[in-house]
Amino acid sequence: MPAGNVLPDLYYIRDRYWLSISLLRHLVRIYTDYSGSLRLTSQLYLVRQHYILPGGTSVAYSKSAVLHQHNMSTLRTSFAKHRKPCDLPTTESTKSFWHKDPSALLLGHRSTRDLPKTADVVVIGSGITGTSVAHHLLTGGESDQKIDLVLLEAREACWGATGRNGGHCQPVFFEHPHDPSIGHFELKNFETLQSLIDEKDIDCEFVTQPGVRSVFSRGHLDQAEQAVHVVQKNAPELASRMRLVTDRDELSGLRVPTALGAIVTNIAARMWPYKFVARILEDLITSTKLNGTFNLQTLTPVTELASEVHRDQDFVLVKTERGTIKAKKVVLATNAYTSHLLPQMSDLIVPCRGQMSALKPFPSVSGEDRLRTSFGFSGDGLDDYLIQRPNESGAHLMFGGGRQHGPSLGITNDNQLDQKTASYLRGRLVDVLNLPEGGEKTSWTEMDATHEWTGIMGYSRDERPWIGALPAELSPSLPPGSTYLAAGFTGHGMPNTWLCGKAAAVMAKESLEGANVDEASVIASRETGLPEAYKISKKRIDAAMELEDVEAKGWAETDRGARAKRPFTSGFA
């Protein structure tokens, strides 16, 4: 092997050992981001692995893992501790289907020409979480506490993950089978959204339907069976809402004939997420019956949080290029971008770029043959999701995922598409739904896409959202009890965010009225059912940091996907 700089060695390894480009990117990223702290050399340990090469040929070859003079866990620990805070959202972004009919009131909206100098509460982020915070602080009946609230958004309102997601809302009762409180919370969140949409008659294509989570690997099927068994034991009331299907004929009837099994849940929905959020924000702007004042400032990225003491009272200084707001309380609904303002969160919430498509359906999934459920597709390296819009509105197949085919973890820009992922999304449904338009199984048939876009999710290190007041470990420069967080939804925001936002709002409001952090947390739990597992604490932070880094877990999943025998896998390096 050539000696010297590690980068030539990496390319040598790629050429010599058929190293996948995705794995090479990880190695190069480790080198370029952390070489200063790790002082990587050309020493490489070659770990024998069994892989599936292009063309389906099964051979043994070497996968390289860059190590210093320590083991892989040392490497993970080293680069986890040195993860960089994320960037601000990019100014430009790919064009989401959900933004094709934007609210005229919200585009470029600034309630006042200049930023207010002060506010009781500043909320950062105008997706569904931040909108929920504002809604619950300013509505809900008469209150002696009148709140001056400013909502700041780096781009247009609801232009981040909520306006870029899959339009899929499904409580998942089997993801955390040993903690039924999470399933109950997601169910309550779903029912609360449904009631609010009905109450306000919001035109956002909200339609309830069953959800089908299909699995395509034996390992995932075993996990599904175990999870269902645990839920049946721990929470039979939740278990009654789902069933595991492995019968081949029934799987075909569910439109997933190539799956090994599926968990069918009797409660899920499809919706137009931007239209829901837009309506709530429009009502806040136009209402004359708020418990205070609402000021929305779009195109105003927050660059820094600092503290100030004035007349023995602590304030948070919310700094932007347009000026600074002195706030009593701040709520961050910043999800993937949280570490830009809270660098200590860099290891706990990691950005992850997802990709979506709006596909014109083939005749076999049109009209009376349209899909009657929402879908998730899980397997080795596989995490895709699908809904179908109403027939009268084009019946687009809203399909997302394909992260095993392009870079995703650690990426904060949604102004680019990954073309390999785009091709996968255009063609994968022909195979997974076994559509007759596919013709010969050796060929690749793609649907036409009307829109293709990306969005940035926030992946939590322990796979649960982070909700509550920030302890000193995460905000050493900010006053205790001044700053609240609701973020880290790991691509599963729709069944969580509305009530997580309410919980953060309750905590901030109770704190304004004199409650301490613990008292406010108890009240928020009582009003929302917020799981204890979602709450921020030093104990949880320490436990999370003992877990594997988010990117390391994603790397392992990508490797598993590279080895899986799926028809399209061999089409990518």
- Mean pLDDT on 506-523: 96
The residue among 375, 357, 173 whose CA lies nearest residue 256 is 375
Which of 12-16, 142-146, 401-405 reaches the highest mean pLDDT?
Answer: 401-405
The one-letter amino acid at 268: A
- Determine the pLDDT at residue 384: 96
DSSP characters over 267-283: EEEE--HHHHHHHHHHH
- Determine the pLDDT at residue 380: 84
What letter does residue 420 receive in the DSSP assignment? Answer: H
pLDDT category of residue 551 using cuts at 50, 70 and 90: confident
Mean pLDDT, the chain, whole residue set: 85
The architecture of the domain spanning 115-162+274-346+466-531 is 3-Layer(bba) Sandwich (3.50)
Report the relative pairing of strands 118-124 and 147-152 from DSSP bridges: parallel
The residue among 238, 129, 134, 205 whose CA lies nearest residue 493 is 129
- Cite the residue boundaries of each domain of the chain with CATH code 3.50.50.60: 115-162+274-346+466-531
Q: pLDDT for 245-264, tens place per residue?
A: 999 999 999 999 999 999 99
Q: pLDDT for 389-441, tens place per residue?
A: 998 888 999 999 998 888 888 899 999 999 999 999 999 999 999 999 877 66
In sequence order, what are the residues at sequence separation of 6 or more whose Cβ sits closer than 8 angstroms to the Cβ of residue 215?
Answer: 221, 224, 259, 260, 261, 262, 263, 378, 379
Owner of token pair 């195979």: 431
DSSP characters over 8-49: HHHHHHHHHHT--HHHHHHHHHHHHHHHHHH---S-EEEEEE
- The answer to whether 320 and 174 are in contact (CB under 8 A) is no
The one-letter amino acid at 122: V
Rounded distance between C-alpha atoms, residue 543 and residue 547, angstroms: 7
Of all residues in the chain, the percent with pLDDT exceeding 90 is: 73
The residue among 248, 457, 247 whose CA lies nearest residue 356 is 457
- The answer to whether 140 and 291 are in contact (CB under 8 A) is yes
